[in-house]
Amino acid sequence: MDKTIMIELSNTFKDAVSDVDVPSPNRAVARIDPGKVKEIMQFLLDNGFDHLSCVSGVDYPPDKMEVVYHVTSYSAPLVITLKASLPRDDPNIDSLCGIYWNANWYERETYELYGIKFNDCPYMKVLLLIEEMEGEWPLRKDYAGYPDLT
Amino acid sequence: MGIFEIIMDTLVFIFATNPFSPWIRGVLGGLVIGAVFGGALVMVYLERKFLGDMQSRIGPNRVGGRFGVLQLIADAIKLFTKEDIIPVKADKWLFIGAPIVALTSGFLMVAVIPFDYLYINGNYYAVAVSRMDISILYLEAVSGLAIFATFMAGWGSSSKYAVLAAFRNVAKMIGYEVPLGITIISVAVMAHSLDIVEIVEAQSNLIYEGSNLWYIIAQPLGFIVFFIALLADVGRIPFDQTEAEEELVAGWATEYSGMRWGLAFFAEYLHAVVGSFIVTLLFLGGWNGLPIVGNLFIPGIFWVIGKTIMVMMLFIWIRAALPRYRIDQVIDIGWKVLIPLALLNLVWATIIGLTLA
Amino acid sequence: MTHEATQITSPTKPSEILLHLGPQHPLQPGPFLLDLKIEGETIREAELKIGYIHKGMEKVFEDRTYLQILPLTDRICYLASNSNNDVYCRGVEELLGIEPTDRAKYLRVLTNELCRLQSHLLGIGEYATDVGFLTMFIYMVREREGVVSLLEAITGSRLNHNYARFGGVANDLPPGYKEMALKTLGELKKQVKSHDNMLSSDSIYLRRTKGVGVLTAKEAGELGVAGPPLRAAGVEYDLRRMEPYLVYDDLDFKVITQNDGDVFSRVKVRLLEILESIYIIEQCLDQMPSGPYKQDVTPYITRPKAGEVYARIEDPRGEMAMYIISDGSDKPYRFRIRGPAFATAQALPPLLVGGYVADVAAIAASMDSCTSEVDR
């Protein structure tokens, strides 16, 4: 598989995929609609992209937050970066746990650091932080507790 | 009446014929037991140095000169000065009693080990704390007390790690007592006696009078079965699952600290030393020196101690070279491999014993 | 192996015990809590709780300049520090639009492979203690001393090397390095071959490890595992071949795979990778071009243009990646570290379910995780 998958992707999901860019032979970027993330991921899984490499959150104050997915394959070097933009007040997106098994820990980490809720995740509990810190969303840009000047 | 006879007469007078003899023999017995405890310390030291040698590192080399001989004293002092922690939910008497039972088992085993067999003034005297007709049976029975000790420690600690380890240990030890017992019986069958002294003497008359052959030549399978069962009974690698730090922290002694742990640890090494003595006496000819050539004018006690140190080094060598079995594989070996081999050895011993009698 | 077993429930039957392995336990490479619900000797459920040494690296990195971050990337996983430096430098170089010099590329490959050697040696050693093979641990540490001395001769430090720079490396090879390296590596090759022989023929070890903790290729793909556990299952996934970076497409090496996917295969993959890395290092030392070892133009304050990069490397433990978003200033806007140990740690509980408690040590150690990297 190669960059033609991006063309197929944008053809299959016309409204949900936008801003497709292929900056280098092994990297492709696209922006997706958060409501359609499960269908898009299932499409990629069916087309041979069977390795979810990373799920990260990015904070863009004052009004949006992004979830960035990096999907790659065990038999080709192409890495597809998919970005989903969410509103900062109530960010929630569907969970990918049914499609990629290893999405669980990434989603738990993104939830506890940013506050992005993943709907239908089978097991959502804080992963790296302690339970008392749930709700503080430390990696947001307006987190008051860093730098710790005590 | 040379000097030698005078000395021997005096010794016999002190130890056998005067009215205070039982008390003197008792004190001497205590000294002998103390000496065997010293032997266990020697084993700990040997283990650290010899094991280090095989693992291309130096063992202790700071305390007590270049060879670190006083390292054990330093460790003992450190253990004495530690805080004695008894967990709140622990069953106090079981917790305290477990190292005591283990050491008692060690004491009792040492009591029947003969170091030499002297012919003085027309009588044979065995250099042992006590000489019984059934000493090997007594030894086998008392070594089973160690099973109690581990279970008391595990159950009394009231901690999941300790209880699990105690279960494993008891299962393993029960399984390996059977081949141990059967092998001892096969040796006793060949020697026509349960007395250790007579077993060693029977070895010296094996095929012809004064041959000084060893039972390892007559029952090699018995030696192997006994050795492996002893490794498992004592709890050394490859059978030391209960101390496998990686699996269950420190096994049944997890909650022990300070000198209590020191005593438990020491009891295990004592068990290993006593086991080495038994191997020497039952299979390696005891105080009768080398096969066919005999004593070479060295007293028998040095032969016993020398051979025991060789067996201890074999224990340590096996520890350095082999990995550890998983507990279910250990129990498999005990029941499915060693018991049939031990029974085979018993049949062999009976046939050979009858032929050579 | 069930995939749903991520959560643990309290024991319902009197025969079940909840056992906590951790957070302090002699078996671990770092603190984590492995909860096991066992019945007799079989594990029914397992859950791994991490976060005991979470340092908040990603937040800290947003507040440091690019050059200040460089020594901190060493500490993500201290055993694979050269790999961490390399992937970070490649990411920033792509943002800056510069390339390392030719000699620097070979030097980076050299230190990457030396780092892989010492990480595998220690990983196998720690695994050996967990199986009960104490002597093997000491032997591996002894061999590792030679490799660490080689690294110290180049980079100046034994553990956290801080060697790669943007556009090159920090310093050049000392004189007489090639002879020293070839001598040490020759001895290492002999010793590793003899250890491999011993491990393949010791019957207790084979009984302990063959058929234990099997991870098939399909399961590994679903669990998101990469690195030696995946290659032991038969999948030829090595980023040095799949997405060649630096000079790996000029070097000749094989991707080591085994077929069984059990504990024995994973350790064997690591042993054979040690021999393969020695071969790569010998080629590097032969083919190294002369020239400058870094660019002249690396500024102290680096301001990459706005953009993002996802740089990947074949870490000794798997696939390591760094996702850096830059907004044109001298500090990154978002710095995401994707460590390989995160994926292998997540895959550990399903692997343990259904096995024996006595196998936990062997399986966990054969996955070779590094808690510092999992928690960041």
Nearest 5°: CA angle at C272, between C270 and C276?
Answer: 110
pLDDT tens digits, B311-349: 999 998 988 888 888 888 888 888 999 999 999 999 998
Percent of chain C exceeding pLDDT 90 equals 19
What CATH number does residue A39 fall under? 3.30.460.80
* 3 state SS for chain C: CCCCCCCCCCCCCCCEEEEEECCCCCCCCCCCEEEEEEECCEEEEEEEECCCCCCCHHHHHCCCCHHHHHHHHHCCCHHHHHHHHHHHHHHHHHHHCCCCCHHHHHHHHHHHHHHHHHHHHHHHHHHHHHHCCHHHHHHHHHHHHHHHHHHHHHHCCCCCCCCEECCEECCCCCCCHHHHHHHHHHHHHHHHHHHHHHHHHCHHHHHHHCCCCCCCHHHHHHHCCCCHHHHHCCCCCCHHHHCCCCCHHHCCCCCCCCCCCCHHHHHHHHHHHHHHHHHHHHHHHHHCCCCCCECCCCCCCCCCCCEEEEEEEEECCEEEEEEEEECCCCCCCEEEEECHHHHHHHHHHHHHCCCEHHHHHHHHHHHCCCHHHHHC
**pLDDT at residue C298, rounded to an integer:** 63
Question: Which chains form contacts with chain B, at 3 or more CB pairs under 8 Å?
Answer: C
Task: Decide if pLDDT at C28 tops 80.
Answer: no
Chain C positions in Cβ-Cβ contact with residue A123 (cut-off 8 Å): 6-7
Lowest mean pLDDT: which of B120-124, B125-129, C16-20, C231-235? B120-124
Per the structure, the count of domains in chain A is: 1
**C375: distance to nearest CA of chain A, Å?**
7
Name the nearest CA neighbour of C90 among C170, C166, C172, C171.
Answer: C166
What band does C87 get if pLDDT is binned at 50, 70 and 90? very high
Query: Closest Cα of chain C to B58: distance in Å?
Result: 12
pLDDT at C1 over 50: no
A120 touches chain C (CB under 8 A): no
Size of interface A-C (CB pairs under 8 A): 83
Nearest to C224 among A52, A126, A127 (CB): A52
Among the listed residues C161, C198, C192, the one whose alpha carbon sits nearest the alpha carbon of residue C276: C192
Of the candidates C237, C310, C338, which has its C-beta nearest A74's C-beta? C237
Instruction: Write down the pTM of the prediction.
Output: 0.87
Kindly list the residues from chain A whose CB atom is less than 8 angstroms away from the CB atom of residue C237: 74-75
Q: State the average pLDDT over residues B253-278.
A: 84
Q: Over 90: is that where the pLDDT of C20 sits?
A: no
Give the pLDDT band (50/70/90) at residue C3. low
Q: Is residue A143 part of a domain?
A: no
Contact C243 A50 (CB under 8 A): no
Residue of chain B nearest C22, judged by CA positions: B249
pLDDT at B210: 66
Q: Is the pLDDT of residue C236 over 80?
A: yes
State yes or no: pLDDT of C310 exceeds 80: yes
Q: A22 at the C interface (CB within 8 A)?
A: no
* Interface contact C27-B241, CB threshold 8 A: no
* Percentage of the residues of chain B whose pLDDT score is greater than 70: 93
Residue A150 falls inside a structural domain: no
CA geometry: angle C308, C314, C319, nearest 5 deg: 70
Nearest CA in chain C to A54: C338
* Closest partner CB to A58 (pick from C224, C334, C342): C334
Q: How many CB pairs under 8 A join B and C?
A: 77
Shortest CA gap B289–chain C (Å): 34
CATH topology of domain C57-375: Cytochrome-c3 Hydrogenase; chain B (1.10.645)
Please, are residues B16 and B285 in contact by the beta-carbon 8 Å criterion? no
Instruction: Establish if A93 belongs to a structural domain.
Output: yes
Q: Any idea where the domains of chain C sit in the sequence?
A: 57-375
Range of the domain at A26: 4-133
Determine the residue of chain C that is closest to B246 in CA distance. Answer: C27
The pair of structure tokens assigned to A95 is 């969970």
- Does residue A148 belong to any structural domain of this protein? no
Condensed to tens digits (0 to 9), the pLDDT of residues B179-225 reads 999 999 998 888 888 888 888 888 877 776 666 778 888 888 999 99
**Neighbours, chain C (3 or more CB pairs < 8 A):** A, B
Amino acid C297: pLDDT:
66
Yes or no, beta carbons of C358 and B241 under 8 Å apart: yes
Per-residue model confidence (pLDDT) at position C300: 67
On chain B, the residues whose CB falls within 8 A of the CB of C208 are 323-326, 329
Rounded Cα–Cα distance for residues B124 and B102 (Å): 33
Strand partners, C37: C18, C45
Mean pLDDT calculated for residue range A46-65: 87
